[in-house]
């Protein structure tokens, strides 16, 4: 009996340590990352992913909102330090080339509202992030770049997903590894 309780306490302690330092749970609250992430998808975030290397273009990251209100967002990294990012008539360019990422509802293909962002060289330590559903995403185009120090980690797995009601489980989403 005591051995079982001790094993349970050790498992709970290990889970709490992992939650604090290694893995974080993040629940998507909007449609800004459609079709990759759906509202009410719960994803696992690797908090150690960027301790050894910086984020890469195309990574899906969770970060603390740049305007310091405590919220966390999930977006895709588009621009890295030193890159030149611009948008003309709804088409996003990185280093003079049209943005081409799979699994996005927009992908810089001109499907979002016409907008113009003058060419902007990314400063050191800053990332330019976009939602995959660019027409419905508040992102770096609106509130600027994200400091790398505000990145919580890399989203890597949908571990739970449900519709508007908690019992409406989206079984086909569970276990979906993020690109």
Find all residues with CB under 8 Å of 69, minimum gap 6, and list them.
none
Contact 93, 85 (CB under 8 A): yes
Find all residues with CB under 8 Å of 13, minimum gap 6, and list them.
none
CB atoms within 10 A of CB 107: 19
Find all residues with CB under 8 Å of 115, minimum gap 6, and list them.
87, 89, 90, 141
Q: Would you name the residues annotated as active-site residues?
A: 32, 75
């Amino acid at each position: 009996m005591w051995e079982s309780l001790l094993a349970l306490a050790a498992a709970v302690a290990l889970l709490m340590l992992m939650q604090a330092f290694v893995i974080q749970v993040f629940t998507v609250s909007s449609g800004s990352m459609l079709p990759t992430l759906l509202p009410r998808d719960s994803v696992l975030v690797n908090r150690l992913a960027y301790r050894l290397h910086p984020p890469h273009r195309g990574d899906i990251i969770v970060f603390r909102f740049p305007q310091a209100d405590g919220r966390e967002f999930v977006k895709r990294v588009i621009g890295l330090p030193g890159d030149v990012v611009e948008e003309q008539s709804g088409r996003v360019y990185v280093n003079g080339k049209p943005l081409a990422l799979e699994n996005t509802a927009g992908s810089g293909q001109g499907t979002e509202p016409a907008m113009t962002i003058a060419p902007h060289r990314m400063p050191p330590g800053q990332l330019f992030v976009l939602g995959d559903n660019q027409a419905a995403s508040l992102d770096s185009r609106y509130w600027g770049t994200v400091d790398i120090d505000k990145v919580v980690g890399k989203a890597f797995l949908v571990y739970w997903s449900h519709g508007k009601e908690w019992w409406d489980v989206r079984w086909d989403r569970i276990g979906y590894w993020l690109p």
